[in-house]
Chain A
Amino acid sequence: MDTTETLLLPPGGSTIAGEVDALFYFIVYASIAIFGIVLFGIIYLSIKYRTEKAAVEGTTSGVSHNTRLELAWSIIPAILVIIVFIWGFNVYMKMSIVPKDAMEVKVTAQKWFWSFDYPDGINTVNELVVPLGKPVKLLMSSRDVIHSFFVPAFRIKMDVLPNRYTLTWFEATKIGRYDIMCAEFCGDRHSEMLAKVRVVSEREYKEWLESGTETAEDITPVDYGRALFRTKACYTCHNVDGTSAVGPALNGIVGKRRALVGEGEVTIDENYLRESILEPRASIAAGYQPVMPTYQGMLNDKQVDALIAYIKSLK
């Protein structure tokens, strides 16, 4: 959790930053050692065996093998890279697995700004406000081309795609303001697609939520989703009390495994729900008929988000 700026890296501000930095510097030192050996070899050998005369008399040594030496320079680097691989894999898994108690913020990217939807229905543009010391899960999608959510201080980056959700998370360890940048080229104002993360204390965060001046819509995604569930007539085929109808019940299903018609099974997550709304015939739950119409074109992204939020809220 080293939060000071070092020679090569920007100041860190998340729980993962210290771990990434330790690995980064390990590779730096290993690289310097290997480069030192190569450089020393070049300089030493070329000074020792230099020849000035244009016409050099006499043949040279025919040595072209040394099994021990060759094994050494194959195996030692191999061990080194295996260490680096495993270390990198471990830290990467920590970056990938979102803690259970994480609060969720929906991130929407479009040319050329970021917007953030909070569980309480608050919406902000180009400023992500988060409480100190609480894991924050970002559920991200794009309205147009691919963007990439990059916070150098947190050492996180994730592409933001137009046709599916991607996830990343962080836990801030220091109060302050940090840069968010778009890292995937997205057109004329790509380099202006900047935002800030504002890390505040728990108390300040609560106050900020209560002030709630920046609400884009008057209702929360869950309430919006509940309304859509009615107006789009989802209730005619899906119950929310655990009983099956034409389609499966929707309460308490998120995170469960479900068998599919044909073979295989899926874990029900945001992407599966989205697919089921927009392309309902793609993966049919075992025991049901493929009769649901597609909602492609009938729901915009925000409405799909809201429906998913509503389904997730059902216990």
Chain B
Amino acid sequence: MNKIPEVNYLNADRGIKSWLFTLDHKRIGLLYLFSIMAAFLLGGVFAILIRLELLGPGKDIMEARTYNQIFTLHGAVMIFLFIIPSIPASLGNFILPQMIGAKDVAFPRLNLLSWWIYMFGAIFAVISMSAGSVDTGWTFYTPYSTTTSTSVVAMTLGIFILGFSSIFTGLNFIVTIHKMRAPGQTWFRLPLFVWGLYATAIIQVLATPVLGITVLLLILERVAGIGIFDPAMGGDPVLFQHFFWFYSHPAVYIMILPGMGIISELISTFSQKKIFGYKAIAFSSLAIAFISFLVWGHHMFVSGQSQLASAIFSFLTFLVGIPSGIKIFNWLATLYKGKIRFDTPMLYAFSFLFLFTIGGLTGMFLGTLATDVHLHDTYFVVAHFHFVMVGGTVMAFFGGLHYWWPKFWGRMYNEIWAKISIAFTFVGFNITFLSQFLLGAKGMPRRYYSYLEQFQSLHGFSSFGSWIMAVGFIIMAIYLIYAVFKGPPAGDNPWGALTFEWRTTSPPPKENFKETPTLTHGPYDYDKIIPKRTI
């Protein structure tokens, strides 16, 4: 019978201060987890409100101005407060040092500072957005954002602050991965989740400063009246779009690369099979990170940028699609001759494969110049983005959350409720967003408070799906929280996986391992050794 170790990181120190000022990467990971889940809940409530308003054309529950604020809040909260920090700062923080056999990250104090900055920036941004009724959308395009009377300055200041938390986490991970690996753990024996986090960290460190500079220029323009983006002062609004997407396109890879890393772990573990094409997956992460800096202009095919620039950006966009495709096929090939089990994390991995493939393929329509002209700024883009980000990143995040939940708490969640929950989420998601592809192709522009009659039925369908999805998430919250207190003890290695974090107790001791582990086999050597499952 499994037992919870008497002393572990959860009870080694007591009191609220031992959490708020902890230097333990596991506790900081959990602090981040609670914070981003609060952001996810908040953003989710806004999403439901948006879908309620769009049930019918014209006014349903709110005025146009309120609606514009709500979709701005939904976008900004989900992007900056939830999905960018989601996997690296919570799961990554907790698992990365254990995966490489380290006691902690390289800079524990910087890690704590990163969370404090995140909290400060997040609260600042949310308060200024709701109190200042910002209605620019999360992209805050100029000159709309420089001429609106709402408190854009405060909101962008919040985003500026949040950027530092992201940079600090990235910097910390880069140094940790370079310097803190256990004896015997060479680069090509690192788990692929670590590779995903490494590629992500590079983008975080290199791209985030550009966002910081951009919002700073925006603030300077509004406060000091220096003409940079506003044509009334001699600026150029399209310049803002270039700056903005120079960060925000690489940022979508900040969001997806760690998710891809999780999927590699899940598929290998639950098919009990050596990962197919390890180096191809690892290098494709780096390739994606590099090319992601060169494709920002595909957001601007109809912005008035030169046709030549558009053609080059279109070509590079197709180039970045290929490494993602290679990953999909590698994961499929990993299943071949495996011993596949359908535990909940694996169901999330399958959902990821299904939804992310649709998300990737619909990206072709948008990367292609001629079809993008029709589809740009319609619901097709909204649907594509949600398939990649929710169908991709969020599915991977929840897959990882279920996978490591027993490691976090030492206790197991209820498998049946977990399967019911993912069924609701998966079905609800497809109803919500497949209908938005159709809406977009038929010409429904995004960010519309009202719409023409011909779009009524598809909008209704989409709203209906959002309720099913919400039910799935509510069920999940209940059984996961229940498991923390009442779940059966999971044991050290409930899934029979080979990476380092399963060699320590669940939950781990404060210093992660009783003694520094030595690497004796690769992370996916299921052809040599099969660890025993503890449940």
A residues engaging B (CB < 8 A)?
Answer: 8-10, 19-20, 23-24, 27, 30-31, 34-35, 38-39, 41-42, 45-46, 49-51, 54-66, 69-70, 73-74, 77-78, 81-82, 84-85, 87-93, 95-96, 144-146, 148, 150, 152-153, 155-159, 161-164, 166, 179, 181-192, 194
Q: Mark B510-524, 1 if CB is under 8 A from A, else 0.
A: 000000000000000
Q: What are 9 A-B pairs with beta-carbon distances under 8 A?
A: A31-B362, A46-B350, A62-B274, A64-B274, A153-B443, A181-B445, A188-B135, A190-B449, A191-B448
Please give, as numbers and ranges, the residues of chain B lying within 8 Å of A188 by CB-CB distance: 64-65, 68, 135
Please give, as numbers and ranges, the residues of chain B lying within 8 Å of A42 by CB-CB distance: 332, 335, 350, 353-354
Query: Which of B336, B370, B526 has the largest number of chain A CB atoms within 10 A?
Result: B370
Q: Is the CB of A38 within 8 A of B237?
A: no
User: Closest Cβ of chain B: how far from A266's Cβ, in Å?
Assistant: 14
Q: Is the CB of A183 within 8 A of B378?
A: yes
A46-B340, A50-B342, A60-B338 known; A148-B144 Cβ under 8 A = no
A85-B368, A185-B447, A186-B144 known; A55-B274 Cβ under 8 A = no
Please give, as numbers and ranges, the residues of chain A lying within 8 Å of B143 by CB-CB distance: 144-146, 162
A8-B438, A42-B350, A187-B68 known; A91-B302 Cβ under 8 A = no
Q: Is the CB of A95 within 8 A of B373?
A: yes
Contacts A164-B304, A183-B378 known; 15 new A-B pairs at CB < 8 A? A24-B365, A49-B337, A51-B340, A55-B533, A56-B530, A59-B526, A65-B277, A66-B333, A73-B325, A74-B325, A88-B368, A152-B374, A159-B302, A161-B304, A191-B447
A24-B371, A56-B272, A74-B326 known; A35-B339 Cβ under 8 A = no
Indicate which residue in B272, B278, B377, B451 contacts A184 across the interface (CB closer than 8 Å): B377
Q: Is the CB of A161 within 8 A of B238?
A: yes
- Stretch from B122-130, B173-181, B307-315 contacting the other chain: B307-315
User: Closest Cβ of chain A: how far from B138's Cβ, in Å?
Assistant: 11
Is residue B26 within 8 Å, beta carbon to beta carbon, of the partner chain?
A: no
Is residue B441 within 8 Å, beta carbon to beta carbon, of the partner chain?
A: yes
Q: Is the CB of A184 within 8 A of B141?
A: yes
Is residue B253 within 8 Å, beta carbon to beta carbon, of the partner chain?
A: no
Kindly state the interface size class of chain B when it binds its partner: 35 or more
Q: Is the CB of B530 within 8 A of A58?
A: yes
Q: Is the CB of A70 within 8 A of B280?
A: yes
Indicate which residue in A9, A45, A91, A190 contacts B447 across the interface (CB closer than 8 Å): A190
Q: Mark B369-381, 1 if CB is under 8 A from A, else 0.
A: 1111110111000
A24-B371, A92-B369 known; A183-B332 Cβ under 8 A = no
The 8 A-B residue pairs with the shortest CB-CB distance in the complex, in nearest-first order: A152-B443, A62-B527, A163-B231, A88-B368, A91-B370, A92-B369, A191-B448, A45-B335
The answer for the CA separation of A28 and B96 in the assembled complex, in Å, is 40
Chain A residue nearest to B346 in the complex (CB): A46
Please give, as numbers and ranges, the residues of chain A lying within 8 Å of B358 by CB-CB distance: 35
User: Closest Cβ of chain B: how far from A55's Cβ, in Å?
Assistant: 6
Q: Is the CB of B364 within 8 A of A84?
A: yes
User: Closest Cβ of chain A: how far from B265's Cβ, in Å?
Assistant: 15
Which of chain B's residues 217-259 have a Cβ closer than 8 Å to chain A?
Answer: 231-232, 236-238
User: Closest Cβ of chain A: how far from B332's Cβ, in Å?
Assistant: 4
Please give, as numbers and ranges, the residues of chain B lying within 8 Å of A63 by CB-CB distance: 274, 276, 336-337
Indicate which residue in B315, B353, B443, B526 contacts A179 across the interface (CB closer than 8 Å): B443
User: Closest Cβ of chain B: how far from A92's Cβ, in Å?
Assistant: 4
Q: Is the CB of B231 within 8 A of A191?
A: no
Q: Is the CB of A85 within 8 A of B314?
A: yes
Is residue B322 within 8 Å, beta carbon to beta carbon, of the partner chain?
A: yes
User: Closest Cβ of chain B: how far from A294's Cβ, in Å?
Assistant: 11
The answer for the CA separation of A273 and B358 in the assembled complex, in Å, is 47
Please give, as numbers and ranges, the residues of chain A lying within 8 Å of B441 by CB-CB distance: 8-9, 24
Q: Is the CB of A20 within 8 A of B530?
A: no
